[in-house]
Structure 1
Amino acid sequence: MKGKMLFAAILATSFTISAAEHAHWGYEGQEDPAHWGKLSPDFSLCETGKNQSPINIHGALKTTHHGKLELAFKLGRQQIVNNGHTIQINVSEGNTLELDDDNFVLQQFHFHSPSENEIDGKQFPLEAHFVFKDKDGALAVVALMFEEGKANTQLAQAWQQMPTAVDQTAVLNKPVDIKALLPKEFHFYRFSGSLTTPPCSEGVSWIVIDKPVSASAEQISQFRSVIHHVNNRPVQPLNGRIIID
């Protein structure tokens, strides 16, 4: 009997994983963000979750106990990927974030245009998400906004090899120097949120840098022309969450 139950559990787990893998989602038509919650049972939080991202950052609580944000970056092998939803850059080890005495390791960073998060109702033309994970699988995302201005030298390095076809990849000849990409000095906002793509899992620690960096109109246009559509999820209700400044 126990063997049958175990088999059933394995079968159910396999089905759930398979369903999630084969549930198509996107940013247009019947697969757009408004429909994500109904595309698969695994995506239900996209509709029912109460701590969803992105958000409009306003009314932040100023505090002297902000918590330290320690970032360390190491240049290494990077792979740029067009996955059909975004342009993603996978990184090698050595890039870390220390937050609340917990150590997170950078997995990848990717881009959204226009921005997903807003600051005081302002939407930016481009936003980067740096996705970190700790040893227990908990996620933290650092968000960086771009405003239109002079060309960004770090983006230029990656954009030269940006894959134009879905599922196309390339190893960057010159890796993006993430430390040089970020502002030299900045403050940040913190809040608890979710993934901004299905399955919209909650419990993600969000850190949004308050100071944007620049990207040229051509760089923003190049990203949009490769993705072929906007790839931002609309802002979600706060539902009483506190934003720390």
Structure 2
Amino acid sequence: MPTRRTFLVALPVATAALVLPPGALAHAGARRRGTPHPQQSPIALDTSTTKPAPELPELVVAYPDDVEVSVRYVSRDPDDPAGCTTRGHEETVEAEVPEGAAAVLLGGSRYELVQFHFHTPSEHTLDGRRFPVEQHFVHRGPNGETLVVGLFLTDDGAGGTPQDVVLARLPEECGEEVTVGGLDLASALPCDLSTLRYPGSLTTTPNTEGVSWLVLRAPVAVAPSTLRGFQELFPEGDSRDLQPLGDRVVRLREQ
């Protein structure tokens, strides 16, 4: 029986409308019936080549200003499921969100926030820049689809963000869960909700494709000490290498 901690299996057809304009859906379906091109994540994002897509649905954020999350150290390495011997891109710190507590709305559909986690350095790049940390908000759609909102974190903030609060309570590797209460998730995202959207995959095993990626163009600044603490937990990083874009088109939804 799948749980909220199970990494989500995506349904490409259902999520395509979130990252592709209506006229591209038939083409995407035809390609899947033939020999599909790999659609893996992360990728290098380049705003100079993105396609403006005002017709894509607006991102509406319905995150609470007071929620309790469970933070734990996780590993998805099939050779080291406990995550106690090596540290690599298959491991991270993950915060589980109570069911029904938070969501985003797109095109009239509700996508429940299941968990969020972090990677250092950032998995995506933006205009050639790799950020210190990237945060992934993983959502499940009404038909089991996977939608991930990606957020870049910079190390030039004054502290006090929800990210600072969570990463100040880092669990030990293979240690017990840490409960963080009173978390203001509503302020976790920037005011500028413009997103770069593309069809991709999970970035950890099993790297399932059919994921709708919405990467926020604007970063959030957190305290330098906050990010140092997370980076010290993963001295060699926990990010997957950039993957080929192939024939995919990244679309920019200004908001």
Length-normalised TM-score, structure 2: 0.73
Q: Secondary structure at the match of 1:211?
A: coil
SS of residue paired to 1:168: coil
Structure 2 runs not aligned, ≥5 long? 1-35, 75-82, 84-90
* Residue type at the aligned position of 2:71: I
Q: Is the 8 A contact 2:164 2:223 kept in 1?
A: no
- Listed as ranges, the matches of 1:36-115 within 5 Å are 50-58=38-46, 59-74=49-64, 75-83=66-74, 84=83, 85-92=91-98, 93-115=100-122
1:157 maps to what in 2?
165
Counterpart-to-counterpart distance in 2, 1:151 and 1:168: 29
Query: Which protein, 1 or 2, shows the higher relative CO under an 8 Å CA cutoff with sep ≥ 6?
Result: 2
Contact 1:151 1:219 (C-alpha < 8 Å) held by counterparts: no
CA contact (8 A) 1:79 1:171 kept: yes
- The 1:163–1:97 alpha-carbon spacing in structure 2 relative to 1, beyond 3 Å, is same
Answer with 1 or 2: which has the greater Rg. Answer: 1
Partner of 1:129: 136
Is 1:200 the counterpart of 2:207 in the alignment?
A: yes
**Partner SS, residue 220 of structure 1:** helix
Structure 1 stretches lacking a partner, 5+ long: 1-47
C-alpha spacing 1:134/1:66, structure 2 compared with 1 (3 Å): closer
Structure 2 residue 148 is matched with structure 1 residue 141: yes
Q: Which residue identity does 1:122 align to in structure 2?
A: R
| TM-superposed deviation, 1:221 | 1.2
Distance (Å, rounded) in 1 between the aligned partners of 2:127 and 2:215: 13
Name the CA distance, whole Å, in 2 between partners of 1:168 and 1:225. 19
- Distance in 2 between residues matched to 1:228 and 1:120, nearest whole Å: 25
Question: What's the CA shift string for 1:189-209, capped at 9, x where partnerless?
Answer: 111000000100000000000
Contact 1:95 1:106 in 2 (8 A): yes
Amino acid across the alignment from 1:52:
Q
Distance change (3 Å), C-alpha of 1:242 and 1:65: same
The whole-number CA distance in structure 2 between the counterparts of 1:215 and 1:89 is: 17
Deviation of 1:210 after TM superposition, in Å, equals: 0.2
Percentage of identical aligned residues: 29
Q: Is the 8 Å Cα contact of residues 129 and 142 (structure 1) preserved in structure 2? A: yes
Work out the CA distance in 1 between the residues paired with 2:37 and 2:179: 37
AA at the equivalent of 1:89: A
- The answer on whether the counterparts of 1:157 and 1:174 sit within 8 Å (CA) in structure 2 is no
